[in-house]
A and B are shown apart, each in its own frame.
Chain A
Amino acid sequence: MDRRQFLKLLGLSPFYSNLLLCEAMAAEKSLVAIADDRDYSQATIKAINALGGMRRFVRPGNVVVVKPNIGWDRSPEQAANTHPLVVRAVVSEALRAGARKVKVFDRTCNDPRRCYVNSGIEAALRGMKNVDLKHIEGERFKSVRLNGRTLRDWELYDEVLSADVFINVPVAKHHGLTGLTLGLKNIMGIMGGNRGSIHRHIDSALADINAVVKSHLTVVDATRILTAHGPQGGEPRDVKILNKVLASSDIVAADAVATMLFGLKPEAIATTVAAYRRGLGEMKMTGIRILRV
């Protein structure tokens, strides 16, 4: 963009909506990798490698937090939690890239012990060195100044705040209030306090949190997706097997592409739109480059 173009745009900007300005200013396309494999570990590794490999995100000696969705006391087939093989693959890639420590946790909705066991994630990570699957401890939530549009401040988990790398590993599924729950909503697992109370302005509140806690890498588990009765499911007929894993360093783009797997437009998910408007990432297909592997 040369000066002339820029001035023209600036002059015209009051007539355009914020949205268009964002689009025009977008310099580079966001890359989203979609890997397709029946072997979920392979799918995960392929998707990460398509972005340039884990070494792009994790430096030797880093402390890495991997945040899957372990919210519910449901089995892997029920598609309410991130698949244990996807979690395991992300964790071992991080270790291979030289991570000093990989911490895995989620603030669960059901009993944390049952969630960790029945999601299969506890068993999947058992015996791995330098990996901590931890239960949330209330005292570790720290009040963080967000200065967001909806949330002035909120309690966030200290291990996320102090980690070198934050990897967001949501499962793609239906949600009663937000339509779908993906990476942007998965961030709720690091929130303390009365989380339910943000439901009244959830889109904007989630953008506030995501603006402060950046997901360096988002890996969306779409190996099987829950198409209805989310976020818990429980009905086998609501589960659709896709054998796909998505990865992107742009959380909004990852969510936008994952939305299309449900046959929906990214604009249909208010959470994604709110984050996009906030400039947290790309939502428009014109600004996203999809790499299928």
Chain B
Amino acid sequence: MKPGKVPSARISQLLFLLLFLVLFVQTEYRGSDRISLAVNSFFRADPLVGLSYFLAEKSFSLLLLPSLILAVCTLFLGRFFCGWICPLGTLLDLVTVKIRKTAPLKFLQGRVKYWLLLPLLFAALFNVNLAGLLDPIAILVRALTFSLYPLFGDTVRQGWVGLYRVLGEGRDVLAPGYGFLRDHLLPFRETFYPLAFLSFGMFLGIVFLERYETRLWCRRLCPLGTLLGLLARFSPFRRTPAALCPDCGECRSHCPTSFDQDLLQQEECLRCMSCRLKCRFGRVSFAFGGFGSGTKYLPERRILLGGLVSGFFLARLFRFRFPWTQAAVLRPPGVRDEQDFLKKCVRCGECMKVCLRSALYPAVMQAGVEGLYTPVVLPRLGYCEYNCTLCGQVCPTGAIPDLPVEEKKREVIGKAVLDRSHCLPLAKGINCIVCEEHCPIPLKAIRSEEIPSVDASGRSFVLRKPYVVDTLCNGCGICEYVCPLEGKSGIEVFAVKDRTPLSGVDVEADLPY
């Protein structure tokens, strides 16, 4: 290899990392109602997402067709995804050279990865789809969405605010530059998320593992890598010679993953081909050979059965939920059935990233362990914008359906309920009606009756008492968001089981007056 020559795999990796980051930043409202390209493309091409969806839903979605294509390609080419595309793998490759290695971790070698993958898949079969929690792309997107991007956005923003403290209005000279950053790179709103530490910690943990072995996560743990490895066993695209040459053996140090034994591990080979590039004798080549499993079939019956049983337990035992949190589990618009949603949701965090008004947050425990990282609306922090359909557009699996705006407006998230002991007009006889003002339903789901009243100083006035029209309320939560009371709102949205969409303008006829 000539010094300074960059392997094609590395070029591809960097391009895909760039693409990933560009798509991530693009997953935001930038002036158009539709987002044509978003980071969901990576999930749609993710065979782990595709397979777990298929197992949990017992059906296939066309949205996930790219994942099938990638699976078929893997069947032919092996784990090229890990060596050429995966942005997490690329990041590991970039940082691993700076990390000094100690001895590999013994307990992670062998079959641990199957004990991770198979229970996840079987649990999906038993209707609890947790694959996304350990999906590498999802781990990366969550670390970015919940920790790094908000941190980045807030830091730049605070710097900008600091400039104002120093320069005052003189800062306006720099405004065009900042405006460009804000419009193209920064998050519009600085939102902080629960689980920020966990999300970043998972990513950091994977980086930390690099001190034991290069690409330890990818070889020993990653469920997506393991799944691709299973397919790669059948790949006819192979390296020759298959083993280390007795006279050299340098491949062992060039190879990022599979040459810790003398024989190349077909399912761990990332097809990065750095061995070919670096071979002094030009002996190494990659070519299509015959079909058939190269290595002996590793996940034996024991692991398969063990996976089945533990998957079953996983599926059942993760079901617990505290009843008092259930009323607060408000799902994004268009999600009508909780169980179906949990089966489809990847927990990738894209909907929360894209949400215009920062209404969506990852569930911590509200929806049980099973619902960890699934999106919930927290209306006191942000409401669902009436004309916005972005979360449905970026959802990779259609767990949040991509609906036309007219349909989305009628989808029910929950129902608003007035709190008579807090609401100003109802509790204290003071005029307010901010909720009615903000209610986006043209015919108003919050209305008020005029009551002639007398105030504390004896003056008579007309008090407007608000009430909610259930048949018109879609639970968008703007009322709870804008309620001027401090802390607790005088009106709150509660989850409802029956989320039949509002029937439209003709609901006027159903009103009780």
B-binding residues in A (CB < 8 A): 73, 109-111, 113-114, 117-118, 122, 132, 134, 137, 139-140, 158-159, 162, 175-177, 194-197, 199-200, 202, 229, 231-235, 238
Tell me if A232 and B438 are in contact (CB < 8 A).
yes
In the complex the two chains form, what is the Cα distance from A118 to B32 in whole Å?
10
Q: Which residues of chain A are near B424, meaning CB under 8 Å?
A: 200
**Please, what's the 1-or-0 string for B419-434, where 1 marks a CB less than 8 Å from any CB in chain A?**
0000010000011111
Complex partner residue of A200 from B356, B385, B431, CB under 8 angstroms: B431
Contact B448 A140 (CB under 8 A): no
- B432, A199: Cβ atoms under 8 Å? yes
The verdict on A200 contacting B430 (CB below 8 Å), with A73-B387, A111-B388, A235-B443 known, is yes
B357 at interface (Cβ–Cβ under 8 A)?
yes
Which of A117, A159, A199, A202 has its CB near the most chain B CB atoms (within 10 A)? A199
Interchain CA distance A117-B31 in the complex, whole Å: 7
Docked complex Cα distance between A132 and B176 (Å): 10
Bound-state CA distance A137–B162 (Å) is 12
* Nearest Cβ on chain A to B169's Cβ, whole angstroms: 6
Least distance between B441 CB and chain A CB atoms (Å)? 7
Among A200, A202, A233, A235, max chain B CB count under 10 A is at A200
Shortest C-beta distance, A140 to chain B (Å), equals 7
Contact of B440 among A140, A162, A234 (CB under 8 A): A234
Per a CB cutoff under 8 Å, which of A137, A140, A229, A231 touches B443?
A229
User: B436 to A162, Cβ gap below 8 A?
Assistant: no
**A residues near B431, Cβ cutoff 8 Å:** 177, 199-200, 202
Contact A114 B433 (CB under 8 A): no
Beta-carbon contacts under 8 Å, B316-364 to A: 356-357
Q: Does B262 contact A (CB under 8 A)?
A: no
Contact A111 B385 (CB under 8 A): yes
Whether A113 touches B442, Cβ cut-off 8 Å, given contacts A139-B161, A196-B483, A231-B437, is: no
Partner of B433, one of A140, A159, A176, A229: A176
Tell me how far the C-beta of B162 lies from the nearest C-beta in chain A, rounded to whole angstroms.
Answer: 9
Beta-carbon contact of B484 and A233 below 8 Å: no
* B203 in the interface (beta carbon within 8 A): no
Contacts of B164 in A (CB 8 A): 137, 139-140
Closest to B172 in A: A132
In the complex, the chain A residue whose C-beta lies closest to that of B505 is: A235
Known contacts A140-B164, A175-B437; A114/B443 CB under 8 A: no
Whether the pair B385, A110 counts as a contact (CB closer than 8 A) is yes
Inter-chain contact B442/A235, CB cutoff 8 Å: yes
Query: Could you mark each residue 362-397 of chain B with 1 if its beta carbon is under 8 Å from any beta carbon of chain A, else 0?
Result: 000000000000000000000001111000000000
Structural contact, A113 and B484, CB atoms closer than 8 A: no
A109 to chain B, nearest CB (A): 6
Closest to A110 in B: B385
Shortest Cβ gap from B143 to chain A (Å): 26
Report yes or no: A196 in contact with B444, Cβ–Cβ below 8 A: no
Question: Closest CB-CB distance, B247 to chain A, in whole Å?
Answer: 65
Q: Number of residue pairs across A and B with beta carbons under 8 Å?
A: 84
CB-contact partner of B388 in A109, A114, A176, A177, under 8 A: A114
Could you tell me if B31 and A109 are in contact, using CB atoms closer than 8 angstroms?
A: no
Q: Which residues of chain B are near A176, meaning CB under 8 Å?
A: 433, 436-437, 444, 448, 464
* Contact of B29 (CB < 8 Å), options: A109, A114, A175, A197: A114
B45 sits at the interface (CB 8 A): no
Across the interface, do B29 and A158 meet the contact criterion of CB distance under 8 Å? Answer: no
Q: Which B residues touch A162, using CB under 8 A?
A: 169
User: Which residue on chain B has the smallest CB distance to residue A176?
Assistant: B436
The interface residues of chain B lying within 8 Å CB-to-CB of A109 are: 438, 482
Question: Is A111 a contact partner of B29 (Cβ separation < 8 A)?
Answer: yes
Q: Which residue of B is nearest A233, CB measured?
A: B442
- B212 within 8 Å of A by Cβ? no
- Across the A-B interface, the 7 shortest Cβ-Cβ residue pairs: A196-B484, A234-B442, A196-B434, A197-B484, A235-B442, A139-B161, A200-B430
Chain B residue with Cβ nearest A74: B387
Task: Give complex CA distance A137, B178 in Å.
Answer: 12
Q: For the complex, is B188 an interface residue (Cβ under 8 Å from A)? A: yes
| Cα(A284)–Cα(B100), bound, Å | 84
Also in contact, A177 and B433, with CB within 8 A (given A73-B386, A114-B29, A229-B443): yes
A175 surroundings in chain B (CB, below 8 A): 437
Which residues from chain A contact B175 at a C-beta distance below 8 Å? 132, 134
| A200 and B443 within 8 A (CB) | no
Give the docked Cα–Cα distance between A238 and B471 (Å). 21
1/0 contact trace for B438-460 toward A, CB 8 Å?
A: 11111110001000000000000
How far, in Å, is B387 (CB) from chain A's closest CB?
Answer: 5
Contacts of A233 in B (CB 8 A): 442
User: In the assembled complex, how far is the CB of residue B481 from the closest CB belonging to chain A, in whole angstroms?
Assistant: 10
Minimum distance in angstroms from B170 CB to a CB of chain A: 11
From residue 172 to 196 of chain B, which have CB atoms closer than 8 A to chain A?
Answer: 175, 188
Chain A residues closer than 8 Å to B161, beta-carbon distance: 137, 139
20 contacts between A and B (CB under 8 A): A110-B386, A111-B356, A111-B357, A111-B385, A118-B387, A139-B161, A140-B164, A176-B436, A176-B437, A177-B437, A177-B464, A196-B432, A196-B482, A196-B484, A232-B438, A232-B439, A232-B440, A234-B440, A234-B442, A235-B443
**Which residue, B424, B434, B441, has most C-beta atoms of chain A within 10 A?**
B434
Contacts of B387 in A (CB 8 A): 73, 114, 118
- State whether B438 touches A200 (Cβ < 8 A): no
Compute how far the CA of A162 lies from the CA of B169 in the bound complex, rounded to whole angstroms. Answer: 9
A-side contacts of B31, CB under 8 Å: 113, 117, 122
Question: When chains A and B are docked, how far (Å) is the Cα of A107 from the Cα of B444?
Answer: 23
| A residues in contact with B168, CB < 8 Å | 158
Whether the pair B385, A114 counts as a contact (CB closer than 8 A) is: yes
How distant is A97 from chain B, measured CB to nearest CB, in Å?
Answer: 22
Cα-based distance from A110 to B175 in the complex (angstroms): 23
* Cross-chain contact of B484 among A159, A199, A231 (Cβ < 8 A): A199
Q: Shortest Cβ distance from B358 into chain A, in angstroms?
A: 10
Distance between A247 CB and nearest chain B CB, rounded to angstroms? 27
Q: Provide the residues of chain B in CB contact with A232, threshold 8 Å.
A: 437-440, 442
* Contact present for A158 and B433 (CB under 8 Å): no
Most buried by B among A162, A197, A233: A197
